[in-house]
Amino acid sequence: MTQMGFYFNQTRCTGCHTCRVACKDWHNLQSEGVNWMQIETIEKGTFPHLFLAFMAVPCYQCETPACMVACPVDAISKRAADGIVVVDPDICLGREKCAQTPCLKACRSRVPQFGPEDNAKMQKCDFCMERLDQGQQPVCVEACPMFALEIGHLSDLRQKYGNTREAPGFNHSLKIKPAVVFTPKPEVYS
Amino acid sequence: MEVSNPYLDNDVRVVNTGCCHDCGGRCVLKAHVKDGQVIRLESDTGEDPQIRACMRGRAYRQRLYSPDRLQYPLRRVGRKGAGKFERVSWDEALNEVAGKLKYVKETYGNASILLLASGGNQGMLHGPLPVGAMLQEFGGFTRTWGIASYEGAMYASMATYGTIRTGNSREDLLNSKMVILWGWNPAVTIQDPGTSLMLARVREKGIKIVAVDPRYTDSAATFASQWIPIRPGTDSAVLIAMAYVILKENLQDQAFIDQHTVGIEKYKDYLFGVDDGVQKNPQWAESISKVPAEVIAKLAREYALVKPAALIAGWGPARAAFGEQYSRAANVLTAITGNIGVSGGYAAGFMRAYSSREFSHKKVVVRPDQAKPKRTGNPVEDGASPRKYSLHKLYGGTNPNGARIHNAKAFDAILRGKAGGYPADIKLGYVVASNCLNQNPNTRRGEAALAALDFMVVHEQFMTPTARFADIVLPVNTFMERSDIAPPWLGSPYYIYLNKAVDSLYEAKSDLDICRELAQKLNISPMMFAFTEDEILQGIAAGRDDIPDYGAMQRDGVLKIRLDEPVVSFKEQIEDPGKASFPTLSGKIEIYCEHLAEMGDPSVPPVPRYMPHAESHDASLAKKYPLQLITPHDKKRAHSTWHNVPWCREIEPHVVRINAVDARDRGIRDNDMVDLFNDRGRVRIRARVTERIMPGVVELTQGAWYAPDEKGVDQGGCANVLTRDDVSPGGAHPMNSALVQVEAFSQD
């Protein structure tokens, strides 16, 4: 199976949120708080010796997704062709009916999300599958003013950018194997 | 113009348009339109350099389709500011506006009509332009001068260089050996799209970047390897001390100084205390700025010796009392190190590189002795003598017409009129593309002023704090609902052509169409209104020498101009001084400015000086209000635009940022409600306790909408509740020169 992966050049990210909003616009995520792309801010240190970085958090399409394992009704699966983790809204029980919503607790990156509507079904980043299928880049990648994002075959990304799987704000997990490669921001203080 | 649809739904057409409000960019947007609705956006996917829209542009659908959009003309029914309005027809609304305009003209004269215009909703056509054309034809009006963003930088640029075209192309930064971001945060302020990307490439090339700023900004954190925190309002002191070090240690480019500048000896007299007995050495600057003397000396040596080096002096530190002195000090520093006119250097100054905002890119260098007094075409301004402190002998820069009122003094002028020394008694306010109550300094005084007007009409898209004071509010469409052309601020070489994507929503109209109808009711016919929107845009394009094919620009939605080589301002003057001179009185770079000297006023010294003022960190007022407030841009908004867009707002709540030391002293914890106040007003807001701002300084980003409660406490977090409605001689607004106190707020 081919595994699609995500590349994030953390040294370039200014925390501008363009990727997050481009995603919300493209997928029409009108609700506040529902973000298929999340931006985390990492601030460390004491004035004037500071470290600041941002972490782009789409779904990293883990090789063994914790959300998939946790789902009681097998609504979450990995596409055979590219390893993209997808949720079938027809199978998903919905927030109220599922009661436990274990996918929420399973994912440490808070990727699975529920809208505000009654018995909302789980939704998440799917690497803009429909755009990939058309030969286009996902909208976040195409939006980034810093050209800091890329989505492609994980093996290609590793060949191109190396095999760094951790960065400030993100720890790798051998258990779930997030399909992500970083150019991490060196933790140097001002 | 449409292109064929590469997307899934074949009933979608893609309209090439662009984002056009008052940030530093103008960016490509492709609107996907289905059944007359914009259903999603893309940005530039074309050839390099791509002009990618930022988060604000990408969020535009939520602004376009906001439930708060003004839908039809409104007439005020409640007290001014209360926000109570009734729906009226266009005919009724425009009759009322026309009637008031005629009445004020006949009763008080045209000078009593004040145009309060800004750039909030402005392309090369839509926005204030048609309103100005209409009022001019109507017999004239009083207008304001002074742009809050950059007036100090512009004045200093003119005084030093005689021009505002002082920038180099962004890609030329790759030729620098060192880049200094002085009070400059383009990750948020944009300052032409692609600027941040270029700075990342500069860093990746191993070029040292230093950030000088009271805040550890996103730009400082992402691009710089050294951060020098500096006390607000003291930038000129540090720049002056750098000049001291360079000249004391003989690190200057003496050949450059001899060949291209005038007045170095006069500057030395100030630096070495011949004037006042004070050596302007790094120890002197440290005591003022909190920047350690050895850091100042090291930065000075590095900047002087590592050639070429680019000192980019942002406009923020010049949005301060005597802000023009900071810009002058920066300009002079670039001159004494010979970093002007060379690739990889930078002349600071106003920083425009390419001329896409001016009439032509062709450099028209007009020698001051050839400059003719400019007629503005506005009858109210005919015959007015030049304004005090204006650089009226120079060609370009801010119009020196003495009939104009400084923007920061517009409220005072309304309240005091001729008795207060202003050129007119103002009776009617005409507001377009401006949320002046929110964005001009001293909001509460602004409330009194707007309430004192006999009549006010506002063109708006939303019920802004300003619009709440209107008698008539006219709903204006957005750039998605009309066509226009838009250049960026600082002259990246491109134009955006904004093709209308959808019909005007509700009853909204363009500024042009509103003025067309109003002109009929005023029985006037300004020439501009004889043409269609497209004809006017074609005329704007035809008058320029860098738009060869209007149709292609319209089709593509963007025209990227290919330059033979990056712009390096003043290259001609430096390479061949015999052939080209600077458009100053002396023909050279003016370290000592004769034009300023002639004014003979210590508030406009001929060489740059550090000058304290009533709200300096060490002013007596600082005992009562010990914190310095700065009011920079917010990444969630462009000024007050996008304030009400949820996708932007969810980044983070609007907060006052305060250093942990200052917070602890006041018993304030992160996320606590606090009162931020001075004698001008009080803001109640959440505190963000952070290490990213230096102790003694608090930050409240400008642009959040003023929302006073019944006691007059602003619950909206409008920074200008606290800023001074004062003006520096050069026109700088003192937005970053306000002393405040912060206290924990408790309900009881």
Tens digits of residue pLDDT in B376-418: 789 999 999 999 999 999 988 999 999 999 999 999 999 999 9
Does residue B65 lie within any of the structural domains? no
Same domain, B129 and B160: no
Same domain, B258 and B122: no
Asked if B118 and B433 count as a contact pair (C-beta separation under 8 A), the reply is: yes
Q: What percent of chain B has pLDDT over 70?
A: 97
B41-55 pLDDT, tens digit each: 999 999 999 999 999
Does residue A76 lie within any of the structural domains? yes
Higher pLDDT, B659 or A134: B659
Same domain, B160 and B259: yes
* Number of domains forming the structure of chain A: 1
Does residue A84 lie within any of the structural domains? yes
Q: Given strand B226-228, what is the order of strands in its sheet?
A: B226-228, B208-212, B178-182, B309-313
* Number of domains forming the structure of chain B: 3
What's the CATH code of the domain at B464? Answer: 3.40.50.740
Is B12 in CB contact (< 8 Å) with chain A?
no
A58 falls in which pLDDT band (50, 70, 90)?
Answer: very high
Does residue A189 lie within any of the structural domains? no
Determine, for residues B59 and A25 on separate chains, whether the beta-carbon distance falls below 8 Å.
yes
Same domain, B633 and B735: yes
Range of the domain at B440: 74-145+371-475+507-544
Residues of chain A positioned with their CB less than 8 A from the CB of B492 = none
Q: Distance (Å) from the C-alpha of residue B61 to the closest C-alpha of chain A?
A: 8
Same domain, B454 and B341: no
In a mutational test of the B interface, the residue from A14, A46, A130 whose CB has the highest number of chain B CBs within 10 Å is A14
Q: Distance (Å) from the C-alpha of residue A70 to the closest C-alpha of chain B?
A: 29
Which residue from B minimizes the CA distance to A142?
A: B45
pLDDT at B746: 85
Range of the domain at A10: 4-183
Asked if B51 and B558 count as a contact pair (C-beta separation under 8 A), the reply is: yes
Does residue A139 lie within any of the structural domains? yes
pLDDT at B270: 98
Please name the residues between 655 and 684 in chain B that touch chain A, using a CB distance below 8 Å: 659-661
Does residue B684 lie within any of the structural domains? yes
Which candidate, B436, B354, B520, B430, places its Cα nearest to that of B118? B436
How would you classify the pairing of strands A85-87 and A38-46? unpaired
- Name the helix (H) or strand (E) containing B552: helix B550-556
A176-185 pLDDT, tens digit each: 999 999 999 9
Query: Which residues touch B162 (CB under 8 Å, ≥6 apart)?
Result: B368, B394, B395, B396, B582, B583, B584, B585, B590
Which candidate, B8, B40, B502, places its Cα nearest to that of A30? B40
pLDDT(B6) > 60: no
- CA torsion sign for A173, A174, A179, A182 is positive
CB-side neighbour CA atoms (13 Å) of B572: 11
B179-194 pLDDT, tens digit each: 999 999 999 999 999 9
Q: Distance (Å) from the C-alpha of residue B197 to the closest C-alpha of chain A?
A: 5
Asked if B4 and B11 count as a contact pair (C-beta separation under 8 A), the reply is: no
Does residue B558 lie within any of the structural domains? no
Phi (first) and psi of residue B147, to 5 degrees: -100, 125
What's the CATH code of the domain at B671? Answer: 2.40.40.20
Which residue from A minimizes the CA distance to B66?
A: A30
B365 falls in which pLDDT band (50, 70, 90)?
Answer: low
Average pLDDT, chain B: 95
Distance in angstroms (rounded) separating the CA atoms of residues B692 and B674: 19
Asked if B570 and B347 count as a contact pair (C-beta separation under 8 A), the reply is: yes
Residues of chain A positioned with their CB less than 8 A from the CB of B222 = 11-14, 52
Does residue A149 lie within any of the structural domains? yes
pLDDT at B1: 41
Determine, for residues B59 and A28 on separate chains, whether the beta-carbon distance falls below 8 Å.
no
Does residue A39 lie within any of the structural domains? yes
The pTM of the full predicted model, rounded to 2 decimals, is 0.96
Which candidate, B295, B300, B359, B307, places its Cα nearest to that of B330? B300
B303-358 pLDDT, tens digit each: 999 999 999 999 999 999 999 999 999 999 999 999 999 999 999 999 999 887 77
ipTM exceeding cut-off 0.90 for this assembly: yes
Average pLDDT, chain A: 96
B516-533 pLDDT, tens digit each: 999 999 999 999 999 999
B50 is written with which tokens? Answer: 């791509």
pLDDT at B243: 98
Determine, for residues B55 and A20 on separate chains, whether the beta-carbon distance falls below 8 Å.
yes
In a mutational test of the A interface, the residue from B8, B9, B14, B54 whose CB has the highest number of chain A CBs within 10 Å is B54
B246-292 pLDDT, tens digit each: 999 999 999 999 999 999 999 999 999 998 999 999 999 999 999 99
pLDDT(B122) > 50: yes
Q: What percent of chain A has pLDDT over 70?
A: 99
Does residue A188 lie within any of the structural domains? no
Same domain, B256 and B334: yes
B631-680 pLDDT, tens digit each: 999 999 999 999 999 999 999 999 999 999 999 999 999 999 999 999 99
Which residue from A minimizes the CA distance to B693?
A: A47
What's the CATH code of the domain at A159? Answer: 3.30.70.20
Question: Residue A186 class from Cβ within 10 Å (0-12 exposed, 13-18 middle, 19+ buried)?
Answer: exposed
Is A144 in CB contact (< 8 Å) with chain B?
yes
